[in-house]
Amino acid sequence: MTTVRIWFEKRGEAAYISLLDLQRVMHRALKRSGLPVWYTLGFNPHIYLTFACPLSLGQESLCESCDVKTEAEPLDLSGWQDALSACLPRGLVVKRVAPVGDKAAAIAYSSYAVTMPATAAPLLEAYNAAESAPVTKKTKSGPKTLDLKAHLPKIEYRQEEDTLYLLLCLPAGDGLNLNPALLLEHLKTYGELPIWQCSILRTGLYKADKTEFC
């Protein structure tokens, strides 16, 4: 049996598909595609699916992945991308299908492209000048306060007309997973920030040595 990793984009209105609904969407798409995926055994067989480092609701991504298993021999992945893309809703686009390389537990960082209105520039400067940036993160054991500056000492950004562009790299994975939405919430402590005018796009997943997760 071979584990296959499906890489896909999640853009536009698809950003508002929750993880639970995404599992249902992918299950139905795989079933409709007729691809030779493996079903679990037992009274209620279903397609084996796992998602690496699930994305928060409302955020877009260029690098989502879903693992499935197949018993097909020989393994021919040439038609998987087209067959599956034809069965997915708007905003979900398969970019690549390949045998699994790294285990999902190897993910240590995520990179993000964040946009916000130019009026937020003073808030970013206030963050850079601050000695600490306490944020509260929800965990399974309850709320936990941590210093965002320990992981994001300074925010580099550029301005084009009325928009600011930020590139962030934050811890991700099973150890510590920092959502860029924590930064947006913290920036509101320095002044007014119209969250509805901000966007978050995940651009990459990386291992502890900063090499790309594959």
Domains in the chain, CATH or no CATH each:
2-101 (3.30.70.580), 105-207 (3.30.70)
Return the pLDDT at 43: 83
pTM for this predicted structure: 0.93
What pLDDT sits at residue 42? 80
pLDDT band for position 104 (50/70/90)?
Answer: very high
| Band of residue 45 on the pLDDT scale cut at 50, 70, 90 | confident
Which pLDDT score, from 0 to 100, does residue 2 have?
94
How far is CA 199 from each of CA 130, 155, 179, 181, rounded to the nearest angstrom?
24, 16, 13, 10
Look at residue 141 and tell me whether its pLDDT is greater than 90.
no
Q: What's the pLDDT score for residue 144?
A: 92
Confidence of residue 140 (pLDDT cuts 50, 70, 90): confident
What integer is the mean pLDDT of 113-128? 98
